[in-house]
Chains A and B, each alone.
Chain A
């Protein structure tokens, strides 16, 4: 009789221990596997992402237009999270531009008419407005840097000579 009770207690203890291990391990394994897939997915998107500034044109000292092409193998989302910088090659001017979603381009802001995902091969036009204090100076050479939200960047050098 004692043996039966002991055996039963051991079985209950064993099953309980196994259940505890299962309930503890399952979410850990699940989240670990998800994070592995997600991190490698992010990395694969980063590998597939590539952009190139195809041309830059300044109509006057405070208005610059840039055309940027998605030359990678992935669509680019969240274009508004991209970063744009303008600087002079002599390092006397450097401006970090902010995204303007209103459409009324404010000073030292950039905007684009592009909405939705930026598909492969597509070229989007970026409009940039500088304020008078940060206006381009003739005949300096400037660079424009465009960086996507996942850190892929392209540089373009242009001369302001208008």
Chain B
């Protein structure tokens, strides 16, 4: 009887041991399974994530400001576009240059598309030296003009004065036959590029207003959730001339009005693509779905139009970068 009791006790202890071991192993396996699941989710999210970071470049207001004669600046290497038509009989531009120097105007006109023209293809380019007024009807002094009929070409002039800070050379684009026509005629669109000395640094006339992040992957992200945004990192690396590079980690702003060294992300309902407003965050509002575009704005402290790189790191560690020549730093 004693051996039976002891056998029963020992068997029960052994069974309990087996159960305890089994249970502990189960707990451990659950922990491992959970970790594996999380790791797999993270890996798959990272694999399914792909972004394209680009920049929205805008022209500085100074580029579109007109001088006392109503003319806009024309910089070497930077194309200007316009259209001569009833209601806009002439366009006028100013530029700098020394005396007795030859300069070219490279032009391109869309003649294949008639744009309400009949056979009126001729366009006139008149050069006005420093001090010579430009009006709607007057022609360039000293017979410094060219009439063109071709769709593309290059015309040459020679300056007869030297420009300075307040006195500039001018170029008028028009049709001289419209001098006495109060309405003007359709002459179509044109683009011109000044070729006169060194090209102008683009950063003096253009800047990056915002960055755009397009979701090229299959994953979606709650980009308006502070919990999510807290894990997004934005760095700006600046490359000032003749000085060491500087790296700044920006902080997230809750407001669209940025303070110094801050960034903010917005997911607009519509977004401008090639000048057309197109739907953007329509499906699942506030969720950054595939093919949608985020706008990222930044503001830097003590920024002096240096070129640099914006580095955006997503919470899953995915990194995208975009170089820029100059930030508008709104």
Contact = CB atoms under 8 A, between A and B. Distances in A.
A29 B21 contact: yes
Contact of B245 (A7, A32, A57): A57
B68 interface: no
Nearest to B231: A121
Given A15-B6, A21-B10, A73 B315 contact: no
Interface size class of B (residues with CB under 8 A): 35 or more
Contacts of A59: 244, 246
B34 to A, nearest CB: 7
Interface size class of A (residues with CB under 8 A): 35 or more
Contacts of A162: 244-245
Contacts of A75: none
Given A15-B9, A25-B17, A10 B249 contact: no
B13 A25 contact: yes
A131 interface: no
A36 B24 contact: yes
Given A10-B2, A69-B313, A73-B35, A29 B245 contact: no
B42 A50 contact: yes
A12 interface: yes
Interface in A2-49: 7, 9-15, 17-19, 21-22, 25-26, 29-30, 32-34, 36-37, 39-41, 43-45, 47-48
Given A25-B14, A123-B233, A13 B2 contact: yes
B237 interface: yes
B313 A73 contact: no
Contacts of B39: 47-48, 50, 72-73
B79 interface: no
A96 interface: no
B244 A55 contact: no
Given A17-B10, A21-B10, A67-B235, A10 B28 contact: no
A47 B41 CA distance: 12
Contact of A55 (B2, B4, B311): B311
B249 A44 contact: no
A86 B1 CA distance: 74
Nearest to B16: A29
Contacts, number: 137
Contact of B35 (A7, A21, A44): A44
Contacts of A65: 247
B3 A10 contact: yes
A105 to B, nearest CB: 18
A161 B245 CA distance: 9
Contact of A11 (B5, B20, B244): B5
Nearest to A7: B1
Given A54-B233, A73-B35, A37 B24 contact: yes
Contacts of A50: 39, 42, 317
Contacts of A69: 233, 313, 317
A22 B250 CA distance: 63
B319 interface: yes
B284 to A, nearest CB: 22
A40 B31 CA distance: 7
A50 B43 CA distance: 11
A71 interface: yes
Interface of A: 7, 9-15, 17-19, 21-22, 25-26, 29-30, 32-34, 36-37, 39-41, 43-45, 47-48, 50, 52, 54-55, 57, 59-60, 65, 67, 69, 71-74, 120-123, 125, 161-162
26 contacts: A7-B2, A9-B2, A10-B2, A14-B7, A15-B5, A17-B10, A18-B6, A25-B13, A25-B14, A29-B20, A37-B28, A39-B28, A40-B32, A47-B36, A54-B235, A54-B313, A55-B235, A59-B244, A60-B244, A65-B247, A67-B233, A71-B316, A74-B35, A121-B230, A122-B231, A162-B244
Given A39-B28, A44-B31, A74-B35, 9 more contacts: A11-B5, A14-B6, A17-B6, A34-B24, A36-B21, A67-B233, A73-B35, A73-B38, A121-B231
Interface of B: 1-7, 9-10, 13-14, 16-17, 20-21, 23-25, 27-29, 31-32, 34-36, 38-39, 42, 230-231, 233, 235, 237, 244-247, 249, 311, 313, 315-317, 319
